[in-house]
Protein backbone atom coordinates (compact mmCIF):
# COMPACT_ATOMS: atom_id res chain seq x y z
CA UNK A 1 0.00 0.00 0.00
CA UNK A 2 1.39 3.48 -0.84
CA UNK A 3 2.45 5.84 1.93
CA UNK A 4 -0.57 8.13 1.89
CA UNK A 5 -3.24 5.47 2.41
CA UNK A 6 -0.95 3.81 4.97
CA UNK A 7 -0.76 7.03 6.95
CA UNK A 8 -4.41 7.92 6.47
CA UNK A 9 -5.57 4.51 7.64
CA UNK A 10 -5.44 5.77 11.21
CA UNK A 11 -6.30 9.27 12.41
CA UNK A 12 -3.46 11.32 13.89
CA UNK A 13 -3.24 11.12 17.65
CA UNK A 14 -1.66 13.36 20.27
CA UNK A 15 1.11 10.80 20.53
CA UNK A 16 1.66 11.03 16.76
CA UNK A 17 2.05 14.78 17.10
CA UNK A 18 4.57 14.34 19.89
CA UNK A 19 6.61 11.81 17.93
CA UNK A 20 6.31 13.66 14.62
CA UNK A 21 7.36 16.97 16.13
CA UNK A 22 10.46 15.35 17.54
CA UNK A 23 11.29 13.84 14.15
CA UNK A 24 10.64 17.07 12.29
CA UNK A 25 12.83 18.96 14.74
CA UNK A 26 15.85 16.74 14.07
CA UNK A 27 15.20 16.60 10.33
CA UNK A 28 15.02 20.40 10.31
CA UNK A 29 18.36 20.57 12.06
CA UNK A 30 19.86 18.34 9.37
CA UNK A 31 18.57 20.73 6.71
CA UNK A 32 19.77 23.81 8.57
CA UNK A 33 23.27 22.49 9.08
CA UNK A 34 23.40 21.51 5.39
CA UNK A 35 22.60 25.11 4.45
CA UNK A 36 18.98 24.58 3.45
CA UNK A 37 17.72 27.56 5.40
CA UNK A 38 14.11 27.88 4.29
CA UNK A 39 13.56 24.12 4.29
CA UNK A 40 14.91 23.89 7.81
CA UNK A 41 12.77 26.77 9.04
CA UNK A 42 9.74 25.36 7.29
CA UNK A 43 10.08 22.00 8.96
CA UNK A 44 10.98 23.28 12.40
CA UNK A 45 7.97 25.59 12.40
CA UNK A 46 5.75 22.56 11.95
CA UNK A 47 7.36 20.99 15.00
CA UNK A 48 6.50 24.06 17.08
CA UNK A 49 2.97 24.12 15.71
CA UNK A 50 2.53 20.51 16.78
CA UNK A 51 3.94 21.10 20.27
CA UNK A 52 1.58 24.03 20.77
CA UNK A 53 -1.43 22.09 19.54
CA UNK A 54 -0.59 18.96 21.49
CA UNK A 55 -0.12 21.00 24.68
CA UNK A 56 -3.53 22.63 24.17
CA UNK A 57 -5.15 19.24 23.68
CA UNK A 58 -3.32 17.79 26.70
CA UNK A 59 -4.80 20.64 28.74
CA UNK A 60 -8.20 19.68 27.33
CA UNK A 61 -7.66 16.27 28.87
CA UNK A 62 -6.48 14.39 25.80
CA UNK A 63 -4.29 11.37 26.35
CA UNK A 64 -1.57 10.09 24.03
CA UNK A 65 -3.95 7.90 22.04
CA UNK A 66 -6.67 10.48 21.49
CA UNK A 67 -7.34 11.53 17.91
CA UNK A 68 -6.35 15.13 17.30
CA UNK A 69 -8.87 16.27 14.71
CA UNK A 70 -11.95 16.37 16.93
CA UNK A 71 -10.13 18.94 19.08
CA UNK A 72 -9.36 21.32 16.22
CA UNK A 73 -12.72 22.89 15.40
CA UNK A 74 -13.65 23.54 19.05
CA UNK A 75 -10.23 25.11 19.60
CA UNK A 76 -10.66 27.38 16.60
CA UNK A 77 -14.10 28.50 17.78
CA UNK A 78 -12.76 29.31 21.21
CA UNK A 79 -9.81 31.23 19.84
CA UNK A 80 -11.98 33.19 17.43
CA UNK A 81 -14.23 34.17 20.33
CA UNK A 82 -11.38 35.09 22.69
CA UNK A 83 -9.01 36.90 20.35
CA UNK A 84 -10.78 37.56 17.04
CA UNK A 85 -7.95 39.80 15.81
CA UNK A 86 -5.55 36.84 15.60
CA UNK A 87 -6.26 34.74 12.51
CA UNK A 88 -5.79 31.01 12.88
CA UNK A 89 -4.28 30.82 9.37
CA UNK A 90 -6.12 27.61 8.50
CA UNK A 91 -5.25 26.15 11.90
CA UNK A 92 -1.50 26.77 11.46
CA UNK A 93 -0.75 30.08 13.16
CA UNK A 94 1.73 29.75 16.02
CA UNK A 95 0.41 33.08 17.34
CA UNK A 96 -3.07 31.64 17.50
CA UNK A 97 -2.02 28.41 19.19
CA UNK A 98 0.33 30.22 21.55
CA UNK A 99 -2.45 32.52 22.73
CA UNK A 100 -4.83 29.59 23.04
CA UNK A 101 -2.28 27.69 25.09
CA UNK A 102 -1.97 30.62 27.50
CA UNK A 103 -5.75 30.73 27.88
CA UNK A 104 -6.21 27.01 28.31
CA UNK A 105 -3.43 26.82 30.86
CA UNK A 106 -4.99 29.69 32.85
CA UNK A 107 -8.43 28.05 33.05
CA UNK A 108 -7.22 24.51 33.75
CA UNK A 109 -4.04 24.41 35.83
CA UNK A 110 -3.65 28.12 36.56
CA UNK A 111 -1.55 30.66 34.73
CA UNK A 112 2.04 29.97 33.89
CA UNK A 113 4.58 31.60 36.15
CA UNK A 114 5.55 35.00 34.87
CA UNK A 115 8.92 33.99 33.45
CA UNK A 116 7.50 31.05 31.51
CA UNK A 117 4.56 33.06 30.23
CA UNK A 118 6.79 35.92 29.11
CA UNK A 119 9.16 33.53 27.38
CA UNK A 120 6.28 31.70 25.71
CA UNK A 121 4.81 34.92 24.33
CA UNK A 122 8.17 36.18 23.16
CA UNK A 123 8.98 32.91 21.41
CA UNK A 124 5.75 32.30 19.56
CA UNK A 125 5.43 35.96 18.57
CA UNK A 126 8.98 36.01 17.26
CA UNK A 127 8.67 32.70 15.48
CA UNK A 128 5.52 33.99 13.80
CA UNK A 129 7.60 36.71 12.16
CA UNK A 130 9.80 34.01 10.61
CA UNK A 131 7.54 31.02 9.99
CA UNK A 132 4.11 30.70 8.48
CA UNK A 133 2.51 27.94 6.53
CA UNK A 134 2.47 29.75 3.20
CA UNK A 135 6.26 30.12 3.12
CA UNK A 136 6.41 26.84 1.24
CA UNK A 137 5.44 28.65 -1.95
CA UNK A 138 8.36 31.06 -1.74
CA UNK A 139 11.98 30.58 -2.78
CA UNK A 140 14.57 30.67 -0.02
CA UNK A 141 15.29 34.18 1.26
CA UNK A 142 16.02 33.24 4.85
CA UNK A 143 19.00 34.81 6.57
CA UNK A 144 21.39 32.84 8.77
CA UNK A 145 20.24 34.84 11.81
CA UNK A 146 16.64 33.81 11.12
CA UNK A 147 17.67 30.18 10.97
CA UNK A 148 19.37 30.59 14.33
CA UNK A 149 16.33 32.27 15.86
CA UNK A 150 13.93 29.62 14.55
CA UNK A 151 16.18 26.88 15.88
CA UNK A 152 16.60 28.52 19.28
CA UNK A 153 12.89 29.14 19.65
CA UNK A 154 11.98 25.63 18.53
CA UNK A 155 14.52 24.19 20.99
CA UNK A 156 12.91 26.20 23.76
CA UNK A 157 9.46 24.85 22.82
CA UNK A 158 10.85 21.32 22.71
CA UNK A 159 12.47 21.69 26.14
CA UNK A 160 9.37 23.33 27.65
CA UNK A 161 6.69 21.15 26.09
CA UNK A 162 5.81 19.06 29.13
CA UNK A 163 5.75 22.07 31.45
CA UNK A 164 3.04 23.59 29.25
CA UNK A 165 0.49 21.04 30.32
CA UNK A 166 1.72 19.61 33.65
CA UNK B 1 -19.81 45.94 -10.97
CA UNK B 2 -20.84 46.43 -7.35
CA UNK B 3 -18.20 46.38 -4.63
CA UNK B 4 -19.12 44.13 -1.72
CA UNK B 5 -17.51 43.01 1.50
CA UNK B 6 -16.38 39.42 1.47
CA UNK B 7 -18.34 37.23 3.80
CA UNK B 8 -16.88 34.53 5.99
CA UNK B 9 -16.47 31.18 4.26
CA UNK B 10 -19.59 29.13 4.71
CA UNK B 11 -19.99 25.36 4.82
CA UNK B 12 -21.14 23.69 1.63
CA UNK B 13 -24.90 23.17 1.27
CA UNK B 14 -24.42 19.44 1.86
CA UNK B 15 -22.57 20.02 5.14
CA UNK B 16 -25.06 22.71 6.17
CA UNK B 17 -27.82 20.18 5.64
CA UNK B 18 -26.06 17.68 7.90
CA UNK B 19 -25.75 20.40 10.55
CA UNK B 20 -29.45 21.16 10.24
CA UNK B 21 -30.35 17.51 10.74
CA UNK B 22 -28.10 17.24 13.80
CA UNK B 23 -29.71 20.33 15.32
CA UNK B 24 -33.16 18.92 14.62
CA UNK B 25 -32.34 15.60 16.23
CA UNK B 26 -30.55 17.21 19.16
CA UNK B 27 -33.56 19.41 19.91
CA UNK B 28 -36.24 16.85 19.13
CA UNK B 29 -34.80 13.33 19.50
CA UNK B 30 -36.41 10.53 17.56
CA UNK B 31 -35.85 6.79 17.46
CA UNK B 32 -35.33 6.68 13.71
CA UNK B 33 -32.27 4.60 12.86
CA UNK B 34 -31.14 6.93 10.07
CA UNK B 35 -30.90 9.95 12.36
CA UNK B 36 -27.69 11.14 14.02
CA UNK B 37 -27.04 9.92 17.55
CA UNK B 38 -25.76 12.79 19.67
CA UNK B 39 -23.72 11.73 22.69
CA UNK B 40 -22.80 14.33 25.29
CA UNK B 41 -20.00 13.71 27.74
CA UNK B 42 -20.12 16.21 30.58
CA UNK B 43 -17.54 14.41 32.69
CA UNK B 44 -14.53 16.10 31.13
CA UNK B 45 -12.36 18.12 33.53
CA UNK B 46 -13.04 21.79 34.13
CA UNK B 47 -16.65 21.71 32.98
CA UNK B 48 -15.64 20.97 29.40
CA UNK B 49 -17.98 19.03 27.18
CA UNK B 50 -17.30 16.41 24.59
CA UNK B 51 -19.80 15.89 21.78
CA UNK B 52 -19.84 12.75 19.68
CA UNK B 53 -22.23 12.34 16.79
CA UNK B 54 -22.60 8.80 15.50
CA UNK B 55 -24.06 8.78 12.02
CA UNK B 56 -23.43 6.84 8.86
CA UNK B 57 -23.96 9.97 6.80
CA UNK B 58 -20.48 11.07 7.84
CA UNK B 59 -19.09 8.53 5.40
CA UNK B 60 -16.83 10.28 2.83
CA UNK B 61 -16.68 13.47 4.89
CA UNK B 62 -13.29 14.40 6.29
CA UNK B 63 -12.99 14.42 10.08
CA UNK B 64 -12.39 18.16 10.28
CA UNK B 65 -15.55 18.91 8.30
CA UNK B 66 -17.50 16.63 10.59
CA UNK B 67 -16.12 18.46 13.58
CA UNK B 68 -16.99 21.88 12.12
CA UNK B 69 -20.54 20.71 11.38
CA UNK B 70 -20.93 19.47 14.96
CA UNK B 71 -19.64 22.78 16.31
CA UNK B 72 -22.15 24.67 14.17
CA UNK B 73 -24.89 22.44 15.55
CA UNK B 74 -23.64 22.85 19.13
CA UNK B 75 -23.68 26.62 18.76
CA UNK B 76 -27.24 26.52 17.42
CA UNK B 77 -28.48 24.28 20.22
CA UNK B 78 -26.41 25.36 23.21
CA UNK B 79 -25.76 29.00 22.34
CA UNK B 80 -22.39 30.62 21.75
CA UNK B 81 -21.15 30.71 25.35
CA UNK B 82 -22.02 27.10 26.17
CA UNK B 83 -20.71 25.79 22.87
CA UNK B 84 -17.31 27.27 23.68
CA UNK B 85 -17.07 24.74 26.52
CA UNK B 86 -16.96 21.98 23.93
CA UNK B 87 -13.39 20.75 23.58
CA UNK B 88 -14.03 17.62 21.52
CA UNK B 89 -16.43 17.47 18.55
CA UNK B 90 -16.14 14.10 16.92
CA UNK B 91 -18.21 12.66 14.10
CA UNK B 92 -18.13 8.91 13.64
CA UNK B 93 -19.88 6.37 11.52
CA UNK B 94 -21.35 3.45 13.45
CA UNK B 95 -18.49 1.26 12.33
CA UNK B 96 -15.91 3.83 13.45
CA UNK B 97 -17.66 4.23 16.80
CA UNK B 98 -17.59 0.49 17.35
CA UNK B 99 -13.89 0.38 16.54
CA UNK B 100 -13.26 3.08 19.15
CA UNK B 101 -15.48 1.27 21.64
CA UNK B 102 -17.87 4.22 21.87
CA UNK B 103 -21.23 2.86 22.96
CA UNK B 104 -24.18 4.47 21.25
CA UNK B 105 -27.00 1.90 21.46
pLDDT band at B16 (very low <50, low <70, confident <90, very high): very high
pLDDT band at B3 (very low <50, low <70, confident <90, very high): confident
Least confident of A30-34, A93-97, B51-55, B61-65: B61-65
* Pairwise CB contact (< 8 Å): B45 & A108: yes
A75-96: per-residue pLDDT in tens?
999 999 999 999 999 999 999 9
Looking at the partner chain, which of B48, B71, B90 has a beta carbon nearest the beta carbon of A77? Answer: B71
Selected residue with higher pLDDT from B32 and A145: A145
A19-34: per-residue pLDDT in tens?
999 999 999 999 999 9
Backbone phi, then psi, for A134, in 5-degree steps? Answer: -75, -5
Mean residue pLDDT across chain A: 96
Please say whether the beta carbons of A88 and A96 come within 8 A: yes
Distance from CA of B46 to the nearest CA of A (A): 6
The three-state (H, E, C) secondary structure of B55-87, written as one string? CHHHCCCCHHHHHHHHHHHHHHHHCHHHHCCEE
Selected residue of B11, B70, B85, B87 to mutate for chain A interface (largest A Cβ count, 10 A): B87
Whether the complex's predicted ipTM surpasses the cut of 0.90: no
Selected residue of A54, A74, A92 to mutate for chain B interface (largest B Cβ count, 10 A): A74
Q: What is the pTM of this model?
A: 0.89
Mean residue pLDDT across chain B: 91
B17-51: per-residue pLDDT in tens?
999 999 999 999 998 989 999 999 988 777 889 99
Check residue B44 and give its pLDDT: 77
What value does the mean pLDDT take over residues B81-101?
93
Chain A: residue whose CA lies nearest to B99: A10
CA A73, CA B27: separation in Å to the nearest integer? 22
Amino acid sequence: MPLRPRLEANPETVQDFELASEQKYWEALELMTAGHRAGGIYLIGYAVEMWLKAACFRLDGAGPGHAVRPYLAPARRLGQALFPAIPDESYHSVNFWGELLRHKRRVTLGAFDHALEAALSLRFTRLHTIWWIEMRYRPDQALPAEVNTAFEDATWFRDSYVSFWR
Amino acid sequence: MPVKDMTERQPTPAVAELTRLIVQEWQHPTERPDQPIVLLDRSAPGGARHVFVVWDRWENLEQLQRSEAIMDAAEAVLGKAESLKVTVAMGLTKEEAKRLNIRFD
